[in-house]
Structure formats: structure tokens, C-alpha cells
Amino acid sequence: MDSSNEERTPLIGILAVQGGVIEHQRTLERLGVRSRLVRRPAHLDGVDGLILPGGESTTMSKLLELGGLLEPLTAKIHNGTPTFGTCAGMILLASEVKGTRPDAHCLSALDITVRRNAFGRQVDSFETDLDFKGISQPVHAVFIRAPWVESVGDDTEVLARVPADDDKGAIVAVRSGHGRGNVLATSFHPEVTDDDRVHDYFVSMVEESMA
């Protein structure tokens, strides 16, 4: 890739204080998108988008505070940087979290209420196919100690639900701004599959923001 093409390619920061970082990095590589691991506040400089990976949300919250990342990361997101959170990343982005520790931080970047470990423990992990708004064919979703969204605010769009007989399954993918906002979150882990379409959807959000 020549330097002029590199300048036009988004640079996406992946929060790398804890959790499943490398899988997101590999997915972006397959899409031809540059990435940077974010461990310190200085690593936020110049990134066009952010990914908050899965992991242990309370541990991530504490490490953000201890590493001095909590405030600059929150400011970066609230200033409009496109951001994608998966599983624990969704929990961090929420405005309210149920089933968490009282000292855990949330970034309030999405007007949603999330319940931690809503689908159960590790042994309750499962896979299913989801209809995902904005993606033409069903997405294969992997849920590992996953949260779900219990409620959404008026400015939040539901993109996917777990299939249910009454078509009102648990909410597992959301976006701010009814398809116009810069924050995306999923309960599941698209980075652990070979289907890169959810990440491609996010990259399109980043490119639109850059334009």
C-alpha cells in the first residue's frame, strides 16, 4: 500500500487493556483496515474509530481508571469518534448496567440498559443466526457469557434480536441515532467467526464520519 492510500484508509484503535483484542485486529487486517492497540491516552491521538472488545467488563473498567484512560476515552467517544463495542464493550458503552459491581464505570455513550451475563455463564454459551438490519443475509452470532439490552432510549435503534417464537427476542445489537449515530454495539462476538460483515458495517460508519 502506498502512502497516499494509507492516508485515506481509516485507522481504528482497539482498546487493549484486557479481553479479546487480537481477533478484532485480525478481522480488520482481512478488511484491509489499519489498526492500533490502545493502552495509553496517547494512543487515542489520530484514530478515526474505536473498538471496545469483549472481556471482563468490571476488570476493563478498573484498568481504564488505573491507566488514566477512562476520561480521555469517554471524551473521545462523546466527541463523535465512531465506536464499536462487543459483549463487554457493549456493557462499557451503556448508560445503565444491571448485575455489575457498584464501583464499575460505564461510558454512557449509548442510551441503553444492559444486563451482564444475561444469557448465563460460560457453559451457557451458544450460537445462532440473526437478522441484522443493514446486512442483507443473516449473521452467524457467537454468544459467550453475553449481556442483553433490557431497554433502549428514543435515540437508539435496535439492529438485531435473538430469534424468538413471538418475534420479540432479546435485543443483542444496537446503534445510536437511528442509523445515523456513531456508536454500535453487539452482545455477540463477530470477531471470532469468519464473517467480517459486522466489522465492515462499522468500517463504513468510520468512513462516513471521515467524509
Which positions make up the binding site for L-glutamine?
55-57, 116, 144-145
The active-site residue out of 24, 105, 189, 199 is 189
The active-site residue out of 23, 105, 191, 199 is 191
How far is CA 40 from each of CA 60, 104, 105, 109, rounded to the nearest angstrom? 13, 20, 18, 20
Is 87 a known active-site residue? yes
Instruction: For residue 75, give the amino acid letter.
Output: A
The active-site residue out of 23, 24, 87, 105 is 87
Which residues are annotated as part of the binding site? 55-57, 116, 144-145
Contact 203, 190 (CB under 8 A): no
Count of CA atoms in the C-beta half-sphere (13 A) of 76: 24
Measuring CA to CA, which residue among 33, 44, 42, 36 is closest to residue 14? 36
Is 191 a known active-site residue? yes
Please state the φ and ψ torsions of residue 43, each to the nearest 5 degrees.
-70, -15
In angstroms, the CA 170 to CA 105 distance is: 24
Q: DSSP of 26-69, one letter per residue?
A: HHHHHTT-EEEEE-SGGGGTT-SEEEE--S-HHHHHHHHHHTT-
Known catalytic residues are 87, 189, 191
